[in-house]
Structure 1
Amino acid sequence: MYRTVLGSTIVFAPFTIDQALEGLAEAGYHACEIGAVKGWFEHIDSDTVTDAEVDRIGRKLSELGLQPVSLSGHAQLQSADGADRFARAIDIAAALGMEVVNTYTGDATTDEEREAYFANVAALCDQAARHGLKIGMETDSNMLPTAEIGVAILDRIDRPGVLGFNYDPGNVVYYTGADPLTDIRFALPRLVHVHLKDKIGGQGEFNFPPPGDGDLDLTALLAILDDAGYTGPMSAEVEFDERGWPDYDTCRAAAKRSVENLRGMGLTV
């Protein structure tokens, strides 16, 4: 089984990419997922980052002993701008030697926007395939809040071996109140990435502590993944609560707490 958990830079969302990577390495991580999400956590800004800066980030990762495995490149994929942004994210992930680029569907609200989403994602999958990358469509808001709903979406796009699910159990509870231990089974045949994100409270309550400190039964979730033979990447996310991100030292402590808890679950980082 895939037992090395990545550290997501989201725990250091308000801080620079160097601070985020240094914080993950200090916490004990050896691999990472980097954020490139416009307006959310932009450790890489796909719109403006230069090739020289991508090269510098690659050197920084090497210096810290961090393997870059996945990129969160979430974009409004129903729009031309969002599709262009995600296309650039694919190129960045390829340049850094990653395996998976994660995204959500975006906020399509009309039939026309939904049709644009399907066309754009099909083209983006073909681009990713040329780089040997996979795209993880996350259980998130709007079109794909659960894996059960997402099956039909992935079926229609029809890019097996490239497009799969990025399963986020915390999001499933937050957006729908569904049981991740039931819902994840719909994702298993096409699972390419997991956000190991815990959750306190029910639907609509924004509270995502270090994995192992919340209400979700992550041990049971891991057992389901093991039984299914899942060997893909998992990243640990911490998004704190409705008060927002704390100071850097508190974020460092949360990253270290995550590592401690993950090791307690029998995982390595």
Structure 2
Amino acid sequence: MTNSLAGHTNTYHTYSHDEALEGIAAAGFTNVELSAVPGWTEHVDLDADKGELRRKLDGYGLNPVSLSAHSDLTTSDGLEHGIKGVRWAGEYGIPIVNTAVGGHQSADENEAAFLGNINALADEAEKAGVVIGLEIHGDIMASGAVTLPLLEKIGRDNVKINYDTANVVYYSGDSAVEDIPKVVDEIVHVHLKDTTGGKGNWDFGAIGSGVVDFAEVLRILEAAGYRGPYSVELEFSGEPWPPLAEVNAAMKRSYEHLRGLGLQ
């Protein structure tokens, strides 16, 4: 497989950006998904010097393939952050910006408010040469199947899906293997995340430790011609996060498991 395999710095939610990059690189990854999510994982300062970040990533041997810039796109503040994220990514040279309808919390999402804002974000993304990946996350995008009507309402070629293999279970109870074929042509980015299963069960450990059939997920995507990034995201049992050594070990196990399935 020729897809990029990245480590997501959100895996190191309560740790520093340097600790995240060091752990991701030590696990074997050469690509990274950066995180700039207000109120959650703020590893990247969108106002800081990009040159310093480039030097840091080069030092760890990591290439950024996507930016996680989740914000509540039903609000004006969320739209402002989203626009800032796509402009930043365009200037940096990162082709994909991931976000979600209602940001990290995604509670009581207002679809009408989201639809009133998404075109402005898509316009800015188009100018920046960036594609938006809306994550399977929350109520409105609980699965790929329920996301299709939303994409039709949006009607923009540069607004696609960031498919999360565990979120689909958490928010809808459906499995990735059954759901992905319904939206495979709309997927621009994939979060590889495992779960012990069950709707509403927040338990996202190392890849290979749960119920997600990653071999079949990869087979389906490969057969459909998917060539976008795969990004490993581990969120464990939420806060408090595990000790750093455990996070590092889980990322290493995840990388090795996926290498065994043909990713690199």
Q: Distance in 1 between matches of 2:261 and 2:111?
A: 40
Instruction: Find 2:90's aligned residue among 85, 91, 94.
Output: 94
- Residues 201-257 of structure 1, C-alpha deviations (whole Å, 9 max, x = no match): 311111111112211111001100011010111101111114631122221111111
Residues 1:116 and 2:113 are matched in the alignment: yes
Number of aligned residue pairs: 261
Q: Distance in 2 between matches of 1:126 and 1:210?
A: 37
Structure 1: which 5+ runs fail to align?
none
Residues 1:28 and 2:21 are matched in the alignment: no
**Normalised TM-score (structure 1):** 0.92
Q: How does 1:211-250 map to 2 (within 5 A)?
A: 211-242=207-238, 244-250=240-246
Instruction: Find 1:177's aligned residue among 173, 176, 189.
Output: 173
Cα-Cα RMSD: 1.6
Q: Secondary structure at the match of 1:230?
A: coil
Q: Is the 8 A contact 2:71 2:82 kept in 1?
A: yes
Q: Distance in 2 between matches of 1:4 and 1:83?
A: 28
Q: Is the 8 A contact 1:207 1:241 kept in 2?
A: yes
Cross-structure match for 2:257: 261
Q: Secondary structure at the match of 2:226?
A: coil
Residues 1:137 and 2:134 are matched in the alignment: yes
Q: Distance in 2 between matches of 1:175 and 1:124?
A: 25
- Which amino acid counterpart does residue 118 of structure 1 have in structure 2? L
1:133 deviates by 0.8
Residues 1:153 and 2:150 are matched in the alignment: yes
- Structure 1 residues 92 and 229: CA distance shift in structure 2, 3 A: same
Residues 1:210 and 2:206 are matched in the alignment: yes
- Residues 83-102 of structure 1, C-alpha deviations (whole Å, 9 max, x = no match): 00111111222233211100
Q: Secondary structure at the match of 2:55?
A: helix
Q: Secondary structure at the match of 1:41?
A: coil
- Structure 1 residues 94 and 200: CA distance shift in structure 2, 3 A: same
Q: Distance in 2 between matches of 1:243 and 1:136?
A: 26
Structure 2: which 5+ runs fail to align?
none
Q: Secondary structure at the match of 2:149?
A: helix
- Which amino acid counterpart does residue 43 of structure 1 have in structure 2? H
Q: Distance in 1 between matches of 2:21 and 2:190?
A: 20
Instruction: Find 1:163's aligned residue among 147, 159, 165.
Output: 159
Q: Is the 8 A contact 2:4 2:228 kept in 1?
A: no
